[in-house]
């Protein structure tokens, strides 16, 4: 008879210990874009709700932004690099899959011999990464995990394509995940819809293409049910939510999700993230970036119940409850 495995027992619960974010210094307004393509400030505001966004310089890389966000998250958690043993970098815009971003980021942060890997679930990437981090800790495989959603979308967007260049931007958002006495990260409600592969994809392996109306219809009808499923898995009701942080894809989508949740019982005073106005769509970075900004503004407070949800046209989608650190 084979000997029984003696598995290490991890903690029963996890939580986010600290947050951090980073954006490029360069601010690009709608008026700036109108100088290089046929568009106007009002047209962009009406269509997607964006006023300005941040573009990285050519020599500013995805790992650069991830490192800055990671440093700030570690400081916020009151931890040193040596306190972390795993780094996960959700992203879909590394210029090459080898080497991955996570190993580079871990090394630059001084996290030695770290478990390090990238995760590509596009706009749902942060929730995917947070779920994996939580389960790694609860299983005993990791002690503390640094999750950094980071994107340099300007590398993969045609700069004169007004359907996409007005939306996407660059940035990073990080969270340190560790053990807790009480649950601070709920189970993830996730999935994928491979039948929608033609709605968002890389055209000729160079630029992002998306079928805007199809994406809009899917997001405005399907994201709210995912959010409700995340609440159900966490044993909560819509009325328990203090802060809603949908992936910052389009202000009309954000508002539609909030409206549907309020119709299901969410409070009228539920705070809704609208970071898209000034940060643009930063894919896997958008949820932690928005939450970090909201906390700095006092719109999200320690102990608040945060409902995060994101998707990229349904190819990968996820919802999760987080207790704000």
Total H helices, total E strands in the chain: 9, 14
Sign of CA dihedral 234, 240, 243, 244: positive
* 3-state class (DSSP) for residue 40: coil
Q: What is the model's pLDDT at position 4? A: 79
Q: Which residues are catalytic?
A: 123, 247, 281
pLDDT at 304: 98
323 phi/psi in degrees, rounded to 5: -90, 125
- Residues 12-31 pLDDT 10s: 999 999 999 999 999 999 99
8 Å CB contact between 85 and 143: yes
Q: In the predicted model, what is the mean pLDDT of residues 85-93?
A: 97
Q: What is the mean pLDDT of residues 281-303?
A: 98
Q: Long-range pairs for 80-83 at CB < 8 Å and ≥24 separation?
A: 81/109, 81/110, 81/111, 81/112, 82/110, 82/111, 82/112, 83/143, 83/144
CA distances from 242 to 43, 115, 134, 253 (A): 32, 34, 22, 19
38 burial via Cβ count (<10 Å: 0-12, 13-18, 19+) = exposed
Q: Would you state the pLDDT for residue 202?
A: 86
Cis peptide before 255 (omega within 30 of 0): no
Tokens of 69: 């966000």
pLDDT digits (tens, 9 = 90+) for 96-112: 989 999 999 999 999 99
Q: Give, as one character, the DSSP assignment of residue 168.
A: B
Residue 3 has pLDDT above 90, yes or no: no
pLDDT tier at 313, thresholds 50, 70, 90: confident
**Which residue stretches of 161-297 are H helix?**
212-234, 251-263, 276-279, 286-297
pLDDT at 205: 77
pLDDT given at position 1: 59
Give residue 8's pLDDT.
Answer: 74
């Amino acid at each position: 008879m084979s000997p029984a495995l003696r598995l290490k027992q991890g903690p029963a619960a996890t939580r986010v210990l600290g947050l951090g974010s980073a954006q490029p210094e360069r601010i690009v307004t709608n008026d700036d874009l109108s100088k290089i393509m046929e568009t106007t400030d009002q047209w962009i505001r009406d269509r997607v709700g964006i006023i300005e966004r941040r573009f990285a310089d050519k020599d500013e890389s995805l790992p650069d932004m991830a490192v800055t966000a990671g440093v700030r998250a570690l400081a916020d958690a009151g931890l040193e690099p040596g306190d972390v043993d795993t780094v996960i970098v959700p992203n879909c815009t590394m210029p090459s899959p080898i080497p991955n971003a996570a190993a580079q980021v871990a090394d630059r942060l001084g996290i030695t011999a770290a478990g390090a890997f990238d995760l590509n679930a596009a706009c749902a990437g942060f929730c995917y990464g947070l779920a994996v981090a939580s389960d790694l800790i609860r299983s005993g495989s990791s002690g503390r995990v640094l999750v950094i959603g980071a994107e340099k979308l300007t590398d993969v967007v045609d700069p004169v394509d007004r359907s996409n260049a007005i939306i996407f931007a660059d940035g990073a958002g990080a969270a340190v995940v560790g053990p807790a006495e009480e649950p601070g990260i709920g189970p993830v409600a996730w999935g994928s819809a491979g039948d929608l592969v033609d709605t968002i994809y890389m055209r000729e392996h160079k630029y992002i293409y998306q079928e805007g109306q199809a994406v809009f219809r899917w997001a405005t009808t399907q994201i709210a049910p995912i959010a409700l499923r995340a609440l159900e898995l966490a044993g909560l009701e819509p009325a328990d939510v203090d802060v809603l942080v949908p992936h910052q894809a389009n202000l009309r989508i954000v508002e539609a999700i909030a409206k549907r949740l309020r119709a299901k019982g969410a409070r009228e005073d539920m705070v809704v993230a609208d970071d898209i106005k000034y940060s643009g769509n930063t894919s896997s970075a958008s949820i932690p970036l928005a939450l970090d900004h909201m906390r700095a503004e006092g719109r999200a407070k320690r102990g608040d119940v945060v409902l995060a949800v994101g998707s990229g046209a349904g190819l990968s989608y996820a919802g999760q409850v987080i207790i704000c650190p």
